[in-house]
Amino acid sequence: MAFTKSMRIDGLGVVEMALRRIGWFTGFAVLNLVMLGVLVRAQSDSPNRSRKSLDDRVAERFRALDKNQDERLTKAELGAGLFQQLNTDGDEFVTLPEAQAEIRKRGFEAVLKAAQAGNAPPVPVPATVTTNAEPPLRQGPKRLSPGDIGVGRMVPDLSLTDINGRTFRLSDYADRPALVIAFTNTTCPLCKKYAPSLASLEQHFADRKIPFLFVNTNTAEKPAAIQAAIETQGLKGSYVRDEETKLARALGATHTTDVFVLDARRTIIYRGAVDDQYGFEFSLDAPRTEYLKLAIQSVIDGRPLLIAATEAPGCPIDLADTTSPAADITFHNRISRIVQSRCLECHRDGGPAPFALDTYENVAAQGAAIRQAVERGVMPPWFAAKPEKGEPSHWSNDKSLSAQEKSDLLAWIASGKPAGNPADAPLPKEYPSGWRIGNPDHLVQLPSPMPIKATGVMPYQDVIVETGLTEDKWVRALEIRPTAPEVVHHVLVFLLPPANRSNATNDREAGDDESGGFFAAYAPGNDPLVFPEGFGKRIPAGSRMKFQLHYTPNGTAAKDQSRLGIIFTREQPKHLVHVSGIANPKLSIPPGADNHEVFARQTVNSDTTILAYFPHMHLRGKAFRYEAIYPDGRKQLLLDVPRYDFNWQLSYRLAEPVELPKGTTLLLTGWFDNSRNNPANPDPTKTVRWGPQTFDEMMLGYVEYYTRH
């Protein structure tokens, strides 16, 4: 703000009188309004000043009060009286347009008088937005949370009889890679539409010996109509009339178009729709996503499935007069499957976790530790806020336990950890001893082993390595493999230009602020990076790489020689993927502050698609949030991490990418605990500023994205 000398005196005199009259503590609540008033009075004294100029002066003061630069003022920043007067929409903050409009409308004197008197009319409450409680007319498959609807469960070995009188059990298909169970009938319109699709898929996978089992729960359908439908559509698999709905209940089927994929041990791998070609009140010429086909192929290939559960719009199955028998929870029929899908990636021989959970004996021995981890919500490590009840996770790499999985684990431990029948165990999961991305086309490795001491802490280690590439290359897959994963906290790899004498100093400092974005990253629990068709990264000819390594001594001295494996594409990809860091290197966290807020922002200058987020703070980091402020003023929460843990440098990869139009601002907020209550705090008496080591701090949010042209 620019004050003349006389204005400064007048303004301070008003402030001093106000503080003396109403008390210093209460007076500070209206201090901001009084200072704003000095500006507005000076403005109104000149009749030639325009409304725009008045708005500009209010904006100037607004930004001066907006210490954290988040484009909004809270009650703490404004004081209760002023906040009540200017908060016209009744939310938790005042925006600049709100303040400008209210001061223009009522005049500053009226606002000041009401704020000081404390008897202002109630702040208007925004009109409630009414929504139609009925479901939308057009309804297609919607992603669901797999763990909440039975994916990963074992199906009982039921005995069934098909319409030709053949009696069989589900275990009769144990010699096949997968079993498809498709609910259908001859009267539901969507079942009729999907019958040709099912017949086509059955034929497509016939050479792979994938059996299809068709199930009809409609008791009113005539045998002749069923036989006619089978012949017309060319269905080859067994057709079962599940009139007592025992198979529907065992699987958890709810609609006549539900399909299930089971592996050879009757574990549900996929549950949901055939594809998205048909739904309520719409049809497409061809499907956009072939959910069932992808699920079957994933079982054949032995690879994870990105979308494992969806809704299947169809006619509801009548389960009103039936109850599902309670199945006893044992290790082999239930717990082993939870451990396999949520824990074994790290908790196995050769994994980065401190103990293995690959046998019943190992899991049972860790029962108390498992119960504690589940109750505290720290294992498996996943710290994004839970979606609204009934909503699927936004993240393709979400490894968190569902409510049902938590309940089953705790119930099993409480019941004495029964082993059950080993024949009910899931298929063993194989982990490659080598590269998970396949044999790399190119390796970049630390030139010599890095010694890791046994105890204490180690500063970040920086090592620059030549790539040896003589031409530009395009990357399809990346994987960092430490040789001593038990002591590697995380690794970041930064691209550097070709070496020359003038940039030697810059080489040492490259990546210290980390805001330029990394090229590759490793942290325990994170998957290798494999781009889909048409996506990739670029490595310019002659580039070098800076490995930034963070080691955590574990009581035993070790040596690590981390390396980066790269698989190239044959041609330049359509979409070039980048990583950008949004940072606030000017942060200053006061001593003892237990919830210090720091902001960083960046505006995108072209239409951008976000693929993943990677928040990064150090030992005082407490919580982190990504938000988007769109050009029209709308705000959207992108990622909320209410409990940040430095020990887990997680990436949050979107199941459905977020599209940001040009001009959108990404607003990042970090909260820090520099108090004595933070047991990891190196020194609560110190003002903490930006720095590369863990006793320093960073407020940095990486964004993986590509631009749309």
- Domains (range + CATH), the chain: 5-117 (no CATH), 146-301 (3.40.30.10), 331-424 (no CATH), 442-576 (2.60.120.230), 578-707 (2.60.120.230)
CB atoms under 10 Å from CB of 33, counted, come to: 23
Residue 407 has which token pair?
């309940």
Tell me how far apart the alpha carbons of residues 180 and 296 are, in angstroms, rounded to a whole number.
8
Q: What residues form DSSP beta bridges with 477?
A: 530, 567
Which pLDDT value is given to residue 501?
A: 44
Integer Cα distance of 535 and 578 in angstroms: 10
Average the pLDDT over 328-341 and give the result: 92
Q: Phi and psi of 706, rounded to 5°?
A: -140, 155
Q: How far apart are CA 343 and CA 118, in angstroms?
A: 57
Q: What is the pLDDT of residues 451-500, one digit of tens each?
A: 998 887 788 899 999 999 999 999 999 999 999 988 898 899 999 988 76
Residue that wins the pLDDT comparison between 91 and 188: 188
Closest by alpha carbon to 615, among 624, 628, 606, 604?
624
Tokens of 289: 């996503």
Report the range of poorest mean pLDDT among 60-69, 92-101, 498-507, 633-642: 498-507
Question: What pLDDT score does 266 carry?
Answer: 94
Rg of the chain's alpha carbons, rounded to an integer? 31
**Can you state the angle between helices 291-301 and 189-204, rounded to 10 degrees?**
30
Q: What is the dihedral of CA 506, 509, 511, 512, to 10 degrees?
A: -150
For 697, how many CA atoms within 13 A lie in the half-sphere containing its CB? 29
Q: Please give the pLDDT value at position 320.
A: 55
CA distances from 407 to 127, 339, 411 (A): 40, 14, 6
Rounded CA-CA distance 402/332 in Å is: 19
Contact 636, 688 (CB under 8 A): no
Tell me if the bond preceding 380 is cis, omega within 30° of 0.
yes
Using 50, 70 and 90 to split pLDDT, how confident is the model at 89?
A: low
User: Which CA distances in Å does 341 have to 327, 423, 463, 629?
Assistant: 21, 19, 35, 36
Q: How far is CA 450 from the centre of its chain?
A: 33
- Which residue spans within 482-595 are E strands per DSSP? 488-496, 520-522, 529-530, 535-539, 544-551, 558-560, 563-568, 575-576, 578-583, 588-589
Phi, psi of 111 (to 5 degrees): -65, -45
DSSP class of 229: H
Each residue's pLDDT tens digit, 235-281: 999 999 998 899 999 999 989 999 999 999 999 999 999 998 888 76
Give yes or no for residue 206 having a pLDDT over 70: yes
Query: How far, in Å, CA of 631 to CA of 189, rounded?
Result: 43
Contact 30, 559 (CB under 8 A): no
Residue 175 has pLDDT above 70, yes or no: yes
d(CA 314, CA 279): 8
Counting other chains too, the contacts that 325-328 makes at CB distance below 8 Å and 24 or more residues apart are 327/156, 328/418, 328/420
In DSSP terms, 608 is beta-bridged to 660, 707
CA distances from 585 to 565, 582, 697 (A): 32, 10, 9
DSSP state of 192: H
Q: Spell out the alpha helix ranges (H) of 5-79.
A: 5-22, 24-44, 51-65, 75-78
The pLDDT, as a whole number, for residue 631 is: 92
Confidence check: pLDDT of 109 > 80: no
What number of CA atoms fall less than 13 Å from residue 533's CA on the CB side?
A: 0
Distance of CA 161 to the CA centre of its chain: 44
Dist. CA 398–CA 394, nearest whole Å: 8
